[in-house]
Structure 1
Amino acid sequence: MLNLVLFGPPGAGKGTQSEKLINKYQLVHISTGDLFRAHIKDQTALGKKVSKLIANGELVPDKITIDMLEEEIDKNPDAKGFVFDGFPRTIPQAAELDQFLAGKGSQITGVIALDVDKEELVKRVALRQKETGRLDDQAEKSQKRIEEYFNKIVLVLPYYEAQNKLTKINGIGEIDGIFNELCAVIDQY
């Protein structure tokens, strides 16, 4: 089973590249952001809690995120693998994911971090907000999310580096060029 974690700050291209990886490797995409947005749209009890947290630019608590993630994995028992996009965001989440996957006889195959500088991210997120109207892409909120990534979420990378599972790729350039670099890494697993 091919299980990938795609890392990067908001606007790094995780969603775009995930779509391409899913098609090529026939993987199931699990985006915590998409899961949150679906729960919010459906106005589930969980969605209402998540909506309030996201509206304030806060991270959703680990327990809620992990429960949603496990539910999504269990919905896909015949999957060839998964692309985790936006998860894990903390070392406890990474450890919990490892434990959960081990219980299923699986593991994280590799972690790929898309490196993009803050200036480029601000431009990309502003353009995405203009095109899609995503509320979490509004300037103040997106800036808070970008800072959250660089101040907290990147602290998860050494966890995977210690397991020799981390590869960093420059996330600036042509979409297809970045995708080819991703594939070159994945094809070595």
Structure 2
Amino acid sequence: MRIILLGPPGAGKGTQAQVLTKEFSIPQISTGDMLRAAIKEGTELGLKAKAVMDAGQLVSDDIIIGLVKERIERDDCKNGFLLDGVPRTIPQAQAILDAGIEIDAVVELQLADEKIVKRMSGRRVHLASGRTYHIVYNPPKVEGVDDVTGEPLVIRADDEEQTVRSRLSVYHEQTEPLVAFYKDLSAQGKTVYMEVDANRDVDVIASEIVKTLKA
């Protein structure tokens, strides 16, 4: 099963990716992991990527797609793979298509911006242990302090409301056009496109996705 997982930050992609990789015995392939591995191994693409990153520039689509092609040829991808964080743009999606990389299903997790802001900006973290709370869904026993140590909880920079809204803006501008791209491919019978309401219990969402993909 070759899957692309789409959705805004905070929609729960990480949780669903864990379920799908386990269910179908496939690896989760993320842009960051691929770049780190290629740089560490000193591959030709890795060295190119390192030079670009060291110069403070964005890694080109050609390098990203090259890394994807290299990665999916490995043995652990014989049952398929789950792409996470790639493609991000229409040119990347087109390049994947042009490279002959077939995608069985595209799963889009849908969640309204305001719900995402509420979900992410309400998170509180105990830095030393990594324990995470939520002021609405999973509050600490005493407001603002860790249940175990009594130490103060903090809001991570990534969870600040303005940061969340900025990330959502980038998602809508860059990644949302992929929805139309893959819906069009689905209409041509070249992949399955699945829209999922992410404003539900994670187990319900996971069950629905797996059931549909296995149908």
The 1-side partners of 2:201 and 2:59 are apart by 32
Q: What is the letter of the counterpart of residue 61 of structure 1?
A: S
Q: If the length of structure 2 is used for normalisation, what is the TM-score?
A: 0.68
Counterparts of 1:8-27 in structure 2, within 5 Å, are: 8-27=7-26
Is residue 2:197 matched to residue 1:170? yes
The 2-side partners of 1:125 and 1:185 are apart by 28
Q: If the length of structure 1 is used for normalisation, what is the TM-score?
A: 0.76
> Relative to total residues, which structure has the larger helix share, 1 or 2?
1
Deviations 1:81-100 (A, max 9, x none): 01112211112211111222
The answer for unaligned runs of 5 or more in structure 1 is: 54-58
Asked if structure 1 preserves the Cα contact closer than 8 Å seen for 2:26 and 2:77, the reply is no
Counterparts of 1:32-47 in structure 2, within 5 Å, are: 32-35=31-34, 46=49
The answer for unaligned runs of 5 or more in structure 2 is: 133-153, 187-191
Max Rg structure: 2
Is residue 2:174 matched to residue 1:152? yes
SS state of the match for residue 185, structure 2?
Answer: coil
Match of 1:56 in 2: none
Q: Which shifted more, 150-159 or 109-118?
A: 150-159
Q: Which shifted more, 14-23 or 70-79?
A: 70-79
Q: What is the letter of the counterpart of residue 170 of structure 1?
A: D
For the aligned residues, what is the CA RMSD? 3.4
Match of 1:67 in 2: 66
The 2-side partners of 1:28 and 1:170 are apart by 24
The 1:109/1:129 distance shift into structure 2, 3 A limit, reads: farther
SS state of the match for residue 107, structure 1?
Answer: coil
Displacement after TM superposition at 1:36 (Å): 5.1
Counterparts of 1:34-183 in structure 2, within 5 Å, are: 34-35=33-34, 46=49, 49-50=52-53, 52=56, 60-76=59-75, 78-100=77-99, 102=100, 107-126=102-121, 130=125, 131=130, 137-139=158-160, 140-164=162-186, 165-183=192-210
SS state of the match for residue 162, structure 1?
Answer: helix
Question: Percent identity of the aligned residues?
Answer: 31
Asked if structure 1 preserves the Cα contact closer than 8 Å seen for 2:27 and 2:77, the reply is no
The count of residues paired between Structure 1 and Structure 2 equals 177
Match of 1:184 in 2: 211
The 2-side partners of 1:142 and 1:35 are apart by 25
Displacement after TM superposition at 1:11 (Å): 1.3
RCO comparison, higher one (Cα < 8 Å, 6+): 1
